[in-house]
Amino acid sequence: MRYLYYGLFVMGAYLILAMFPLFVLLVGPEIPGRGFWRELSVGLGFAGLAMMGLQFFLTGRFQGITSPYGIDVVYHFHRAISLLAFIFLLLHPLMLLFSAPDTLGLLNPVVAPGWITAGSIAFFAFALIVISSLYRLQLGLSYERWRMIHGYVAVAAVTLSLGHMIGVNYYLQGDVKRGLWIAITITWVMALLYIRLVKPLLMHRRPYTIEAVIPERCSSWTLRLRPDGHAGMAFKPGQFVWLTIGKSPFSIREHPFSFSSSAMHPEKLAFTIKELGDFTETIGSVVPGTRAYIDGPYGSFTPDRHPFAGYVFIAGGVGITPVMSILRTFADRHELRPLLLFYGSKEWEEVTFREELELLQGQLNLQVVHVLAEPPQGWTGEQGFIDAEVMGRHLPEKRMDCEYFVCGPLPMQQGIKSALEQLGVPTEQVQSESFNFV
């Protein structure tokens, strides 16, 4: 309930800040309107810019903003609201042209005043951000290059938009309005400074050393990190961080990874990473002793936030990583509640952590159900994929008393969710996490 009220507060604050510029426009001496469509066009321009400026807060990973919703929801919200803000900004010139066709000539940068051209360039910069985000993979952009473009172009676009707004100077006459707009701009700049300077500086003061790089089954590696000169990082089992390896924390070359270690040992952190993309391909060649930096912890995929009588985990492939963190933590806490793990893998030899899971079954009230897509000869366990039938055979009768945690590839998550629905599990009792928001 605490998270619900706090979430409402955060959403209310977002809406007030997004609409604040529109109220500011009406402060002070009355400014005559210029017809409904022209004023709507102007209003959409101001609202779109305010929404774009607030993106610095949404992507800044402020704990105060992410904690009630989870960072994945905040990032998905960022993506969706950016698209809406872009539509607002697109409607701004379109409606202006509709209400006053003579303004078409202003799109010619040779004759248009500089502040009009600034607005046009800002619009194309926002378009570049949207297109590069929606079609990053199709455009062949690496995550690092896309992030760099995204960050720098966003700052340029917002700055040019502010220049455009000041240049038009219709609604900003008067000290009060100018003062309020300066205050709004300062909050955006402060958010940006925090993200680009303060946060990396704080990370720089809390470095880690990679102690060991341990090969695991299925082309995965476990990185063990030791804090240098500090106590480490307190986290909840199932959470994740942004990890920077061998680079400065100012380099923004960081990637999200889930903890695989027990939350009871903040001084001994571990991350298990599967070789999947351009960065993770190199993870096995990381040399012990390399410096690392951590931004986090983030995420709401944790049983600590969802107290229930029992837990069911459904993991596919490397999706076992946060589940291992949860199970290791539960073992350290001498957890007594019933636990059930459905673990989908391609082959028996690829089952990461299978030996440790065997041991954990002895320490915890845990049942592990391996489901193999390509089982070896003589396999008597479950085979194929984790579906309603497989789960129905093993779920306890009081399945409604359990909370469900699903982690794995996106198609698997979608399949599991519909299977759980078929089994009568309420959707609000199903937690999932994927990193498709980056």
Partner 1 sequence: MREKYALHLALASGGLIFLVTILFALVQSPEILSASVQKGAAIPHPFVGYETCDSCHGRAGILPYPVRHLGWSNGSCEGCHVRDDESAP
Q: Which residues bind partner 1 (CB under 8 A)?
A: 11, 14-15, 18-19, 22, 25-26, 31-37, 39-40, 42-44, 47, 51, 69-70, 72-77, 79-81, 84-85, 88, 100, 102-103, 105-106, 113, 116, 168-170, 417, 427, 430, 432-433, 436-437
Residue with Cβ nearer partner 1 (81 or 252): 81
- Which CB atom, from 257 or from 301, has the smaller least distance to partner 1? 301
Give least dist CB 396 to partner 1, A: 23
Minimal distance, residue 334 CB to partner 1, in Å = 31
User: Would you say 384 and 373 are in contact if contact means Cβ atoms under 8 Å apart?
Assistant: yes
User: In this structure, what are the phi and psi dihedrals at residue 34, rounded to the nearest 5 degrees?
Assistant: -125, 35
Q: Is 163 helix (H, G, I), strand (E, B) or coil?
A: helix
Closest CA relative to residue 158, chosen from 195, 199, 129, 197: 129
Smallest separation, CB 88 to partner 1 (Å): 7
Rounded to 5 degrees, φ, ψ at 403 are -105, 140
Angle (nearest 5°) at CA 212 between 206 and 215: 135
Name every residue whose Cβ is closer than 8 Å to that of residue 154 and which is 6 or more positions away in sequence.
52, 55, 56, 125, 129
Q: Is 275 helix (H, G, I), strand (E, B) or coil?
A: coil
Closer to partner 1 by CB, 59 or 432: give it. 432
Provide the β-strand partners of residue 226.
209
Please state, as a whole number, how many other Cβ atoms lie within 10 Å of the Cβ of residue 361.
15
Shortest distance (Å) from residue 309 CB to partner 1: 22
Task: Report the SS3 class of residue 366.
Answer: strand
Nearer CB in complex with partner 1: 44/340: 44
DSSP for 43-83? HHHHHHHHHHHHHHHHTTT-HHHHTTT-HHHHHHHHHHHHH
What is the Cα–Cα distance from 231 to 33, expressed in whole angstroms?
60
Number of helices (H) and strands (E) in the chain: give both, helices first. Answer: 12, 12
- The nearer residue to partner 1, 41 or 244, going by C-beta atoms, is 41
**Between 285 and 427, CB nearer to partner 1:** 427
In terms of phi and psi (left: phi > 0; alpha: psi -120 to 50; beta: otherwise), the region of 62 is beta
CB of 81 to partner 1, least distance (A): 4
H or E segment to which residue 221 belongs: strand 220-227
| DSSP letter assigned to residue 107 | G
Q: Which is nearer to partner 1, 249 or 256 (CB)?
A: 256
Q: Which tokens is 116 given? A: 């009009």
By beta-carbon proximity to partner 1, the closer residue of 32 and 411 is 32
- Please report, as a single letter, which amino acid is at residue 384: G
Least Å distance, CB 70 to partner 1, is 7
Nearest approach in angstroms of CB 322 to partner 1 is 15
State which residue, 51 or 192, has the beta carbon closest to partner 1.
Answer: 51
Question: CB of residue 3 vs partner 1: minimum separation in angstroms?
Answer: 13
Shortest Å distance, C-beta 101 to partner 1: 8
